[in-house]
Amino acid sequence: MLLTMLSRYTGSFPTGIQALAEILDVKGTILPVTIDRATLVAELRDGKRIYGQTAIDVPRGTQREKIRDVFLVPHYSDSISVYLPVVEAIKYADYIVIGPGDLFTSIIPNLIVPDVKEALQETSATLLYVVNIMTKFGETDDFTGHDFVRVLEVYIERQVDGIICNTAEPDDKLLEQYRKQKAKFVKTADSDKWWGNRRIYASDMLNTADGIVRHDSKKLALLIEEVICQKKE
């Protein structure tokens, strides 16, 4: 609501983001992947379609077909356009870190905006992907680290350079709570020959404060910093 209000007050979505970043004293630059309005649509394996991120994110009932594809439907034109500063940022980046986040509702929607995939294919930056710690019902049921990477690479049509994954497993009590939500711990076998020349960066990055499984932001930042330092050396 605050972002919407600031966007209307400043005259555009990008300037609204900039104003909010200044209020929150954000470090770095935040860029919207597009400023065109669109609806995210998920097509299930049985052919049904679900419209809107919220509806996709929170499945109704206890069962749902897996997602076969996701795409964006523009509101006011035949297509949506990338926000050009995003393409420039990708072009001149040294490192690009994707994730963590819900694969089909937070990650892939940004990558299917026209010209983003092409920019990722052409960049000389090192591309790193942070694999989720837990699966999500209706999106990534029974996914392993391999599955997350495979699906991501299908959408960007290129191989990532490195995979960052958590090794610390939540305790049984917490895992049982997540099982009630049909979510499981994501395991990544670094000995899998499928990885090829993709580098695996595995470490304990677990944070279970307040009974919620998430990445520890400080541990994750430290690991990314170590990866960059190794590459420089």
10, 121: one domain: no
98, 203: one domain: yes
Within a domain: 45: no
Buried b (16+ CB within 10 A) or exposed e, 166-180: beeebeeebeeebee
Within a domain: 124: yes
Within a domain: 103: yes
pLDDT in tens, 90-148: 999 999 999 999 999 999 999 999 999 999 999 999 999 999 999 999 899 999 999 99
Residues near 10 by Cβ (< 8 Å), separated by ≥ 6?
16, 18, 19
107, 205: one domain: yes
Average pLDDT, the chain: 92
Q: What percent of the chain has pLDDT over 90?
A: 82
pLDDT in tens, 36-81: 999 999 999 999 999 998 889 877 666 678 899 999 999 988 889 9
Tell me, what's the pLDDT at 108? 97
Q: What is the mean pLDDT of residues 182-204?
A: 89
Q: CATH number of the domain at 221, please.
A: 3.40.50.10680
Do 164 and 130 form a contact (C-beta atoms < 8 A)?
yes
119, 192: one domain: yes
| Whether pLDDT at 231 is above 90 | no
14, 111: one domain: no
What's this model's pTM, rounded to 2 decimal places?
0.91
Q: Residue 15 sits in which domain range?
A: 1-30
Within a domain: 170: yes
Within a domain: 193: yes
Q: Look at the chain and report how many structural domains it folds into.
A: 2
Within a domain: 72: no
Within a domain: 61: no
- List the beta strands (DSSP E) in 99-225: 126-130, 162-166, 199-203, 206-207, 214-215
Within a domain: 49: no
